[in-house]
Amino acid sequence: MPKSEPRSPLPEVDVKVEAGAWPSAAKLKTLARRAIAAALPPLAVRLAPGSEVSLLFTDDAHIRLLNRQYRSKDKPTNVLSFPGPSDGRVFGPLVGDLVFAQETIAREAEIEATPFEDHLTHLVVHGFLHLLGYDHEAEREAVLMEGLETSILAGLGIADPYGGEAA
């Protein structure tokens, strides 16, 4: 029987609620851990032992400042990803930081007629993929990343955020 690659352990998930009408930090941590745990198996990435992902839950005003400072875009966005160091084979110990904007996420969920928690779960998966080097700037990259997101979310019972049928 061939020896399989050892699975990466689930990284520690550090949650801070800074601003906005978010669920409790405990609920956000549970949601984030579930999303990240679902994302790891299909990715075949290795995380360093004791890895951590840091999540900051804030409001549009703060994420707008960060978006302007780091991406030269003077507007709020739903999630920003700040990858930690990696040698391209192993990620961590700091996998990276994710920052979420409550008003933007709530507005998008309402427009898409998606439950807030489902949309937030999608954005945790989306942001986590960015931390691991996935991107969607080019069409080919977008197809790959969106396919991964759709598959991961389907495993969680969440409908395809890109317009496919319900899971």
In a domain, 62, yes or no: yes
Residue 92's identity, in one-letter code, is: G
Position 167 pLDDT exceeds 60: no
Residue 156's identity, in one-letter code, is: L
Q: Based on C-alpha coordinates, what's the Rg of the chain?
A: 16
For the chain, where are the alpha helices, taking DSSP H only? 25-43, 60-71, 102-111, 116-131, 139-155
In a domain, 38, yes or no: yes
How many Cα atoms within 13 Å fall on the side-chain side of residue 82? 15
In a domain, 167, yes or no: no
In a domain, 165, yes or no: no
- What was the pLDDT predicted at 97? 98
CATH of the domain at 33: 3.40.390.30
Position 161 pLDDT exceeds 70: yes
In a domain, 82, yes or no: yes
Beta bridge partners of 96: 53, 83
CB neighbour list of residue 167: distance below 8 Å, 6 or more residues apart: 153, 154, 156, 157, 158, 159, 160
Residue 20 lies in domain: 12-155
CB neighbour list of residue 83: distance below 8 Å, 6 or more residues apart: 95, 96, 130, 131, 132, 133
- What was the pLDDT predicted at 4? 43
Lay out the sheet containing 12-17: strands in order across.
Answer: 12-17, 52-58, 94-101, 79-83
Task: Give yes or no for a contact between 122 and 167, defined as CB atoms under 8 angstroms apart.
Answer: no
> What's the whole-model pTM score?
0.91
- Write out pLDDT tens, residues 94-104: 999 999 999 99
- Write out pLDDT tens, residues 30-45: 999 999 999 998 887 8
Cα(6)–Cα(70) distance, integer angstroms:
35
> pLDDT band at 16, cuts 50/70/90?
very high
In a domain, 7, yes or no: no
Beta bridge partners of 17: 57
Q: Specify the number of domains making up the chain.
A: 1
How many Cα atoms within 13 Å fall on the side-chain side of residue 113? 2
In a domain, 75, yes or no: yes
In a domain, 161, yes or no: no
> pLDDT band at 55, cuts 50/70/90?
very high
Q: Mean of the per-residue pLDDT values for the chain?
A: 90
